[in-house]
Structure formats: C-alpha cells, structure tokens
C-alpha cells in the first residue's frame, strides 16, 4: 500500500513533523496500519486513551500517542498533541499518488474558446466548454464534463466523471470526487395559473456556484447554481458523498457535512459547523457558527446559538415502537389532561 | 449575466407579457437582480408583500409587483397578478442559451440501428444504442449514454452525463440534468431457499420508463424501469436532485418533489402533489391528488384526502432532546396510566 | 418485450424448473405479464393468496401458483413452493439480453499497464487505468472509468458510466448500475489546530473496496474505500439505488438494502439483514445477523438480537401533527409529573 520501497525512520518522522521521539530513532517505517493489524515495519496511532489496552497488544513498530499515553511504555513512540492529525500527515507519505501528466489527452474535446493553461492536466474523454479556464496545476480526470464559463483553480482536482455545468468557479486545491454535479439549474418553478390548466414554468437560474480554496466535495454530491446570485461554499468546506446543496445556499468556512445531508434553498450556514449524516436543513434559514446537528435531524428554524441540536426518536424493537408511536398522536391530549400549558418545560 | 448587449424597455416588456406599466415606458432593462442588489439598468420583483420595505430601498430600474403593492409608488413598475411568474418569463430573456448545434459530434458513438433525426444535436462523447431514436430538436449533451430501445422527444434536453439505460421514452421538452439515471433495473430480488444456503435471485425487470411532456428531472436523480409494466411520470412532473423513484411507480401530472425524496416501488401519486425534501413514501400506496408532504416526513399508508401531511419531531438542543426522546419509549405507559384508549384524540 | 419470437410450452417450463403442471402441457408461452394484463400467450404468477380473486379474472395462459391456490382451478397452472422465485427464473428467459461483444471498443482508452483478458468486453468511451485487470467474461459498459489497481471478476457487469476509483476488487457475477462510484476517498478529516486558524486536513484513505461474488449495486450508489483496511461487501449483498456506504464498513453476505440507505463509517452489518429505504446506520456499530430495520429509521446503537427495529413517528395531517409535535418537547415533564422512572416500560 506504500509507494514502492519507500521507508523513513522514526527519528526522521519526529524531525519532519515536530514530534517527540521515545525509543529507537533508527526504526524504519515502511507503511501504516491499525493497532490491531500493523506489524514491526508499520506505524500506527492511538487517538483515544480509551483504547489504550490495544496499545499493549499491538505489534506496530512505531505508534503515535498523546503524552499521557506514552508514560511507562517501553516501545518506540512519537508523541503528538493530536495523534490523529500527526498520523494523517505521516500517512500521506505512504499514499500512492496517481501521476496526472500535464497536457491534454488526445481524446479530450476542448472548445476553441476554452483556456487550458500550461501545466494543467486534462485526462482522457474530458469535455471542456466555451470560455472555461483550467489553471496551471489543476487536474481534470477521465470523463469529466465542464460546461461554459467555468474556472478551475491551481492545484484543484476533479477525480473522474465530475460535471461542472455552467458558471462554476473553483478556488485552489479543491478536490471533487466522481459523480459530483456542480452548477446544475437550481430547482426554481412557479405555478402559472393563466391559460389552460395550471402548470409549472421554470424560473431561470442565472447565478453560478463559487467554491473557496481547499474545499472537498464528495462522490455524487450536487450543488446547484443560484437563481440570481451565486451559491457559495467558503474556503475549507468539507462535504461527504451524496449531499444536496440547493440554490442560493451559503456555507461558511471550515464547515463539514457527513453523507446524504440535504440543504434547501437560500439557507446560510455558519463557520465551523458540523452537520451529521442524512440531516436535513430547511430553506431560507440562518444557522450561526459552530452549530452541530446530529444525524438525520431536521432543522426547521434558524439557529442563533452555537451548540448541538437534534430531532427524532430512539430506536426500538418494532413491536414496542408500534405501541408507543401510535400514542404520539395523543400527545397533545395527554398534555392537556395533565394541564400542561402549550409552552412548558423543554 | 445577460446575453451580450441585449436590452428591452419597460414598455416592451409590458406589451410582450400583458402587464400593466406604471412610470417610464422607455426605461431600458439590461438584466435582472434581487431587490437588494439590482441597479438602475436591472429589473427585480416583489412576490411577497411582507418584503415591501425592501422595495423602497431598492435601486432597481423596474420592479414587477402585485397591484396592491404598486399603490403610492413613484417609480417604474410592471403590475402582474403573479409577480414571480411574470419575473420568470422576463428573466428567461436574459438567460444565456448554450448553442447546441444540430448534427452528430464526430466523437459520438451511434449504433448502426439507432435513429438520429435531422435537427437533433448529439454532443461529444455520447453513446447511443440500438433501436433508440432521437427526435429532431432534441439535444443530447456531452457524455450521455443512451442504451437500447429508448426514445427522446423533440425539444428534450439531456444536459450532460445522463444515462437512459433501456426502454426509456421521454416526451417533448423534457429536461434531464447531469448524473440522472433513468431505466436502470428495478430492485427486484427474491430469496431462493432451494439448494444450498438461501440466496437472492434477480427478478427480471422487463418494463420501461415513460416520461410525459414538459417534465424536469434533477441531477443524480434515479428512476428505475418497471418489473413488468412501465414506471410512469405523467406530464409536467418536476423532480429536484437526488430523488429516487423505484420501479412501477406512477407520478401524476404537475406533481413536484424537492430534493432527496425517495418513493418505493409500485406506489401511485396523484396530480398537483408537492412532496417536501427528503420525504419518504413507502411502497404499494395510493396518494390522491393535491397532497402536500412536509420535509423528511415518512408516508406509510395511502392518503385519500387532499391536504398537508407530516411526521417527525421538533428540533431541540441535544441535551433537552435526549431527556425527552428517552421518554418516547414510555409513551404507551404514560397513556395507559392516564387511561387513554388506544384510539383517542389525534 | 420478449426476445424476438421466443416461445416455450408450459410442459417444457415444468420440466426445466422442476414444477408441477396442471392442465395443458402444450400451451405456448411467449412472454410474461401481471395477472391483470397478461393475455393467453403470457405467463403470470400469484405470490400472495390474498390476491386469489385476481386469479379468477386473469386471462393469462399460464399462472404460477402455490399448491394451495391450485385447488379447484380449471386452467393451466405451474405449481411451485415459491411462485415468485419460479416466476423470476421463468421471466429471465424473456429478458432481451444486450449483446456485449468481447473485445475492446476502438474508442476505449486502456492504460498500457492494464490487463484486459481475452473474452472481456470493453465498451465505447471506457477508461481503464494502470495495473487494473478485467477478467474474461466481464463486461464494462459505455462511459465507465476504472482507475488504478482495480480488478473486475469474470461474469461481472458494469452497466454504464460506473466509476471504480482505485483499489476496487469485484468478485464474479457482480452487477453495478450506472452512476455508482466505488472506491472514492473515505470521508476522513482531522481538525488541525496548529498554525493559523483551525482547519481540516485530509486523512489519507489507503484501503480499498472488496465486493464479493453475486453482489448487485444500484444506480448512483457510493461505496468509499477504507482508511487503512478495506471496505467490504461479502457475497450476495444486494444494494438498491443511492445508498451510501462509508469507509471501513463491512456488510455480511445476503444482506439487502433498499434505496437511499446511509451507513456511516466503520460499522459492521451481519448476514441476511434487510435495511428499509432511507434508513440510517450510525458509525462504529455492530449489527448482528438477521436484523430488519424499517424505512427511515435511525440506528444509533449496536444490535445484538435478530429482529425488526424502528424509529420515527406516525404520519398525521399537519394540523394535528403540529399540535402533537410541540408536546414532544414536554415529554420528560409529562413523565416526571406522572412519576415515571427514567428507565420504565418500553
């Protein structure tokens, strides 16, 4: 799993990443592994002291730990304030990097009015539309389709089969995974009651999508372009797979969302928020900074205080669940019988 | 954001769209914008009288309003019964239209038994399979894959990277966004208990998908083909992104669904329904016309009365939520203690 | 809907599939249909005795039934222990099979270090990366992208526009539908608080994805590769559309999931589980064999007993729902007023 034959010593790792070494500086590391599976030539990490028992049993040659977990250990350790962060940086050394050669693959179809800067890599079977620009150092993987008036910044990577529909501007070092679709029409429809049976007409979607530096966008995630102004992701926003970001949404810097989150139109989300998997956020809301939403919760009103928010009910065996769930329809009757005012204890 | 240099006067707009003009007929409009951002050369709209305060502060050259909101205003206005509808029609004039030239791009791979009518546009790197037909005036964008026995009607557009797997028939003026997959196998499996350990066998999916005129299908939405007969969308159905329509479903005309809705197999949904984001609809149900379902609700039984339906619990701070949610397991005990019959007030 | 002109008699079907024939052995079958729609030349089935009334009215030439439903019927029947299973096998005879010719389409782009075995079929506009292998008898449909170090087993089919990003190994007879993305980066991020404002760094995703024999993976489903070790689907796992399987998840043999399920990272799911549509399963859990989860439930703790599990609330008209839902915030107050201990009846 490591680049062919690459090794580095524990001492070199300590120096490169500013970590404190305990033990054998000369111990070679040729890869990484879990505490349970790593062997003497591999490095592992202990992020949570709760699992300290696994440390004793681990055959890993080197382990990254917190200072408190290093005490009394007679093995080669690298001490870090945040072992998971340190591990991540070390593990990156062992990640095989696909070589994206600069230049335009002969099977790519690049519009005459598109600009591909020297040093950009355009993979096989890519399509690039009019007035789009791919910066030097950007990499457009196989099967991507880039429409009109898009801009991909330096160091950004579209892994494969990504679509930027129209007026999508990516900053630098943005990573977009396969199947993602950015800049499709926002879902704007208006019911036209004049002339014949009422029918929908389309509200033109004249805005674009703007994605800041260092964002990551997961596989099959969709981000629609704005109706009039842009849909915006500020920098360092991290989106997992199959997330839906509707038109006119604005997501603040450093906010992360787990898979399958849905954010409805024109909602603004703050910085450093963490949205749990499959949560929903209704439209036209404002969520302040540092809000956490637990998995599958539905946010139906604006949130003005940092903190963690939830909705939903606990899991039960279905028989118990049916018996209790049917009573949910009587909750108001129950409360009235107990003479609870509508606004009571929460 | 407007096609190069295009302008039109307020008077011309009034005449073209049958609106009542207040003020300066000669005022030129070169684009559209929000009330907050539009300048003197742009048109905006006020759809909701609640935001009438924004009208006074807006620098927009022309504003589309309801009659009641026009009173006492000393500026150029266009009065419409539904300003949002009128705005939508006007804004379409300023939408840059991508030129899809008729003809087959040289990199497209068209089966010898496929029919591409004169005047259809087949983009780069498109694949069209045997016995499929693309009508005159249809546009198949870059990277689309059309399998066998499909039919795309006149004026329909597959934006890019759309897949029509097999036996998919689209009417006229259907718009399909990138990543959508129509006509994949319905999820039909049967547990075979004969011979060895029980294992799944596949139920052949012999039907197709039929999509009526003027439908819109969002990015990464999936519509499976029927097991025996077809999965059907009647005309003017509007689907947002990442919706899942299972096999044998039938969706009535003019029904709209927000992003991430999931409809299970063999359910029939009426006309003019509106299904909120991430709602779920179980299989084998019948939903009548004009039903609204709020976001993230789960429909588990047929609905025979028009109206709005919901399930779920309100959002709380997680500490309060935990305290209350655990009591959900005691709801039946609570109700019994109060001697509420099982079928009580709802 | 049947392959041109193919017919088979009821007697031949009985013999081929080991079924008991009642009636006319010579009756020709040229296709299949529902009980309601099938005509004299078509076969249908009655899986559920509840619908036995439809049998009397059906014009189907041959019907597959249970023994109990055959009694007293004066028509041509095939008796099977499980009519749905028998029907599925018979219907497969009438499924038009797309001819995937062996060989590499001239528009495919195959890396010099990739191995395409003789007898594999590589469709138009496919990309295959370095060190990937496509076994004899595998079929890679139009527009698929296969990255580095992947392996597709014999008899496996990637229908169209499937992406295998990296280190994805598919067993034999695996079927993957369009838009699916296997082997994208797992969603691993760590907040780096050193140097400047806290920002996310990426945790390298060094594992792969392993998919056992006879699995099926739905349209636009995503399965991320593992952080260190592999994400695993054992054999005969059946996934519907738009499912999200996060990194390090392990799904046991014969487990089936309906559309839009989301499984968070590092969770292990047992064998023969059935997960309802749009259900969520939190991360780092263990779910034992033969667990059923109803639609849209959220699993937040490990499950050690087989059985059916649910969460959520019943659907109501929105007016009733609002009245009751607001009381959910008072549930704990209600319970305390009734002096219910926190751990009470469930």
CATH number of the domain where residue A225 is located: 2.160.10.10
B184 is a domain residue: yes
- pLDDT score of C196 more than 60: yes
Q: Which chains touch B (3 or more CB pairs under 8 A)?
A: A, C
Higher pLDDT, A262 or C1: A262
B3 is a domain residue: no
B336 is a domain residue: no
Q: Which of A206, A259, A322, A325 to mutate to test the interface with B (most CBs of B within 10 A)?
A: A206
CB within 8 Å: B323 and C315: no
CB within 8 Å: B310 and C322: yes
Cα–Cα distance for residue pair B216/B174, rounded to 1 Å: 6
- Put simply, whether A166 touches B (Cβ < 8 Å) is yes
The stretch C282-306 carries a mean pLDDT of 98
Nearest chain C CA: its distance from A343 CA (Å): 8
Using an 8 Å Cβ cutoff, are A261 and A275 in contact? Answer: yes
Domain that includes residue A19, residue range: 8-94
User: Residue B1: what pLDDT?
Assistant: 42
- Put simply, whether C163 touches A (Cβ < 8 Å) is yes
> C196, A285, C141: which is closest to B185 by C-alpha?
C141
Q: What part of A 78-117 touches C (C-beta under 8 Å)?
A: 81-82, 84-85, 87-89, 91-92, 94-96, 98, 105, 107
Residues of B with Cβ-Cβ distance to C320 under 8 angstroms:
346
The stretch A229-233 carries a mean pLDDT of 97
C156 is a domain residue: yes
Active site (catalytic) residues of A: 247
Number of structural domains (chain A) is 2
Judgement on whether residues C222 and C287 belong to the same structural domain of the protein: yes
CA distances from C62 to C13, C59, C90 (A): 10, 9, 12
Structure-token match 């039929």, residue found: B210
Nearest chain C CA: its distance from B163 CA (Å): 7
- pLDDT score of C97 more than 80: no
CA distances from B45 to A86, C200, C305 (A): 53, 41, 59
A61 is a domain residue: yes
Judgement on whether residues B89 and B165 belong to the same structural domain of the protein: no
Judgement on whether residues B90 and B218 belong to the same structural domain of the protein: no
CA distances from B6 to B11, B18, B28, B42 (A): 15, 21, 10, 12
Render the burial of A44-56: b for 16+ CB within 10 Å, e for the rest. Answer: bbbbeeeeeebbe
Q: pLDDT digits over B195-248, tens only? A: 789 999 999 999 999 999 999 999 999 999 999 999 999 999 999 999 999 999
The stretch A150-161 carries a mean pLDDT of 98
Per the prediction, chain A carries an average pLDDT of: 95
Residues of B with Cβ-Cβ distance to A191 under 8 angstroms:
85
Nearest chain A CA: its distance from C128 CA (Å): 10
Q: Which of B95, B179, B317 sits opposite A220 (nearest CB)?
A: B179
Cα–Cα distance for residue pair A253/A256, rounded to 1 Å: 9
Judgement on whether residues A211 and A132 belong to the same structural domain of the protein: yes
- Put simply, whether B267 touches C (Cβ < 8 Å) is no
Using an 8 Å Cβ cutoff, are B278 and C259 in contact? Answer: no
A181 is a domain residue: yes
Closest-approach residue (CA) in chain B for A143: B143
Judgement on whether residues A144 and A285 belong to the same structural domain of the protein: yes
Cα–Cα distance for residue pair B28/C185, rounded to 1 Å: 51
pLDDT band of residue C39 (cuts 50, 70, 90) is very high
Range with the poorest average pLDDT among B118-132, B274-288, C92-106: C92-106
Judgement on whether residues A147 and A239 belong to the same structural domain of the protein: yes
Judgement on whether residues B194 and B75 belong to the same structural domain of the protein: no
The stretch A152-176 carries a mean pLDDT of 98
User: Residue B99: what pLDDT?
Assistant: 66
Q: What part of C 192-211 touches B (C-beta under 8 Å)?
A: none
User: Residue A161: what pLDDT?
Assistant: 98
CA distances from A3 to A92, A96, A201, C29, C90 (A): 11, 5, 55, 59, 51
pLDDT band of residue C3 (cuts 50, 70, 90) is low
- Put simply, whether C20 touches B (Cβ < 8 Å) is no
Active site (catalytic) residues of C: 247
B345 is a domain residue: no
- pLDDT score of B344 more than 90: no
Judgement on whether residues C298 and C199 belong to the same structural domain of the protein: yes
Q: pLDDT digits over A195-206, tens only? A: 789 999 999 999
Residues of B with Cβ-Cβ distance to C107 under 8 angstroms:
107, 109
The stretch B82-108 carries a mean pLDDT of 91
Q: What part of C 310-329 touches B (C-beta under 8 Å)?
A: 312-322, 324-326, 328-329
- pLDDT score of C330 more than 70: yes
CB within 8 Å: A109 and B125: yes
B43 is a domain residue: yes
Q: In this structure, what CATH number is given to the domain that contains residue C86? A: 3.40.1390.10
Judgement on whether residues B218 and B142 belong to the same structural domain of the protein: yes
> A268, C243, A262: which is closest to B275 by C-alpha?
A262
The stretch B48-68 carries a mean pLDDT of 93
* Cβ neighbour number for residue C102 with a 10 Å cutoff: 15
Q: pLDDT digits over C207-244, tens only? A: 999 999 999 999 999 999 999 999 999 999 999 999 99
Cα–Cα distance for residue pair C227/C187, rounded to 1 Å: 9
User: Residue C346: what pLDDT?
Assistant: 44
Q: Which chains touch A (3 or more CB pairs under 8 A)?
A: B, C
Judgement on whether residues B206 and B150 belong to the same structural domain of the protein: yes
Q: pLDDT digits over B254-271, tens only? A: 999 999 999 999 999 999
Using an 8 Å Cβ cutoff, are B303 and B309 in contact? Answer: yes
Nearest chain C CA: its distance from B97 CA (Å): 27
pLDDT band of residue B321 (cuts 50, 70, 90) is very high
CB within 8 Å: B314 and C329: yes
Q: Which of A31, A66, A94 is the last residue of a domain?
A: A94
Judgement on whether residues A110 and A175 belong to the same structural domain of the protein: yes
pLDDT band of residue A253 (cuts 50, 70, 90) is very high
Q: What part of C 51-80 touches B (C-beta under 8 Å)?
A: none
- pLDDT score of A346 more than 50: no
Q: Which of A75, A94, A113 is the last residue of a domain?
A: A94
Strand blocks (E) in B118-243: 121-122, 127-128, 133-134, 139-140, 145-148, 151-152, 157-158, 163-166, 168-170, 175-176, 181-184, 189-192, 199-202, 209-211, 216-217, 222-224, 231-233, 238-239
Closest-approach residue (CA) in chain A for B93: A204
Judgement on whether residues C72 and C110 belong to the same structural domain of the protein: no
Q: Which of B94, B117, B138 is the last residue of a domain?
A: B94
Q: Which chains touch C (3 or more CB pairs under 8 A)?
A: A, B
């Amino acid at each position: 799993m490591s680049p062919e034959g690459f090794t580095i010593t524990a001492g070199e790792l300590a120096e490169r990443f500013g970590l404190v070494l305990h033990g054998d500086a000369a111990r070679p590391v040729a890869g990484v592994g879990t505490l349970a599976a790593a062997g003497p030539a591999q490095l592992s990490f202990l992020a949570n002291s709760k699992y300290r028992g696994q440390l004793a049993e681990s055959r890993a040659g080197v382990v990254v730990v917190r200072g408190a977990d290093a005490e009394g250990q007679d093995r080669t350790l690298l001490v870090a304030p945040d072992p998971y962060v340190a591990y991540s940086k070390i593990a990156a050394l062992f990640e095989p990097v696909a070589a994206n050669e600069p230049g335009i693959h002969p099977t790519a179809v690049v519009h005459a009015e598109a600009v591909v800067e020297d040093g950009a890599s355009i993979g096989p079977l890519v399509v690039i539309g009019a007035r789009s620009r791919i910066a030097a150092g950007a990499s457009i993987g196989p099967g991507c389709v880039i429409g009109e008036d898009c801009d991909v910044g330096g160091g950004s990577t579209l892994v494969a089969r990504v679509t930027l529909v129209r007026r999508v501007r990516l900053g630098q070092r943005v990573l977009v995974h396969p199947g993602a679709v950015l800049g499709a029409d926002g879902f704007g429809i208006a019911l036209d009651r004049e002339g014949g049976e009422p029918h929908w007409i389309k509200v033109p979607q004249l805005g674009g999508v703007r994605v800041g530096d260092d964002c990551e966008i997961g596989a099959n995630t969709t981000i629609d372009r704005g109706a009039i102004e842009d849909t915006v992701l500020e920098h360092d926003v991290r989106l997992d797979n199959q997330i839906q970001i509707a038109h006119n949404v604005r997501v603040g810097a450093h906010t992360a969302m787990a898979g399958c989150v849905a954010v409805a139109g024109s909602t603004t989300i703050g910085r450093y928020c963490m949205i749990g998997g499959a949560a929903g956020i209704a439209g036209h809301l404002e969520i302040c900074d540092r809000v956490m939403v637990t998995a599958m919760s539905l946010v139906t009103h604006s949130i003005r205080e940092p903190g963690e928010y939830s909705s939903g009910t606990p899991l039960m065996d279905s028989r118990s669940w049916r018996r209790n769930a049917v009573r949910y329809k009587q909750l108001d009757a129950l409360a009235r019988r107990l003479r609870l005012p509508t606004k009571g204890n929460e």
